């Protein structure tokens, strides 16, 4: 069975609440995107609970310019936030992005980013996954670290 999830972890020199507040603002996600697909957030807002949906403007060679609804599936204030992308008006496709935060001493935080496509339901698109490889995930978490360091 092929691997269907990737994970990277890094210690970041910032408190978990500050990192969480950044991740909860989808308008900030372009700053940490290493896929080159995120163009911006449709509405500047802050995620406050699981079940919310935020919409992003995206672009890639397969779909061109398009929008994605991100359904918030994990929301633990200052500890974890995650979303499942979907075509607008449809159920999530079965892949998730989850950020987990573990506070450490001296105002540092262990940050783990997981991309999981184990429940992805569009078989014809499976050969295009993962959206980011291990290096891309690491670059994303490094960009997050650079914002706070």
Write out the residue range of the structural domain in which residue 48 sits: 5-148
61: domain CATH number?
3.30.530.20
- pLDDT tens, residue order, the chain (149 aa): 457 899 999 999 999 999 999 999 999 999 999 888 889 898 889 999 999 999 999 998 878 899 999 999 999 999 999 999 999 999 998 889 999 999 999 999 999 999 998 887 656 565 666 677 899 999 999 999 999 98
Total domains, the chain: 1
> Which distant-in-sequence residues (6+ apart) come within 8 Å of 37 by Cβ?
58, 59, 60, 131
Q: Report which DSSP code applies to 1.
A: -
Q: How far apart are CA 8 and CA 35, in angstroms?
A: 16
Task: Please state, in angstroms and as integers, the Cα–Cα distance from residue 13 to each residue in 53, 60, 107, 125, following that order.
Answer: 29, 33, 7, 38
- Its pTM stands at 0.92
Q: Report which DSSP code applies to 147.
A: H
Q: How far apart are CA 18 and CA 46, in angstroms?
A: 13
Do residues 65 and 58 touch, judged by C-beta distance below 8 A? yes
Query: Phi/psi at 27 (nearest 5 deg)?
Result: -60, -20
């Amino acid at each position: 069975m092929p691997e269907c999830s990737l994970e990277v972890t890094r210690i970041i020199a910032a408190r978990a609440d500050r990192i969480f507040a950044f991740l909860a603002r989808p308008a900030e996600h372009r700053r940490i995107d290493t896929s080159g697909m995120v163009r911006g957030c449709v509405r500047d807002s802050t995620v406050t609970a699981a079940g919310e949906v935020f919409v992003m403007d995206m672009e890639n060679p397969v779909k061109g310019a398009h929008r994605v609804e991100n359904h918030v599936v994990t929301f633990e204030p200052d500890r974890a936030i995650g979303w499942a992308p979907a075509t607008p008006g449809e159920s999530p496709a079965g892949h998730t992005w989850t950020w987990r935060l573990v506070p450490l001493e001296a105002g540092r935080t262990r940050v783990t980013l997981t991309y999981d496509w184990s429940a992805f339901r569009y078989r014809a698109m499976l050969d295009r996954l993962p959206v980011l490889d291990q290096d891309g995930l690491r670059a994303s978490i490094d960009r997050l670290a650079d914002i706070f360091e």
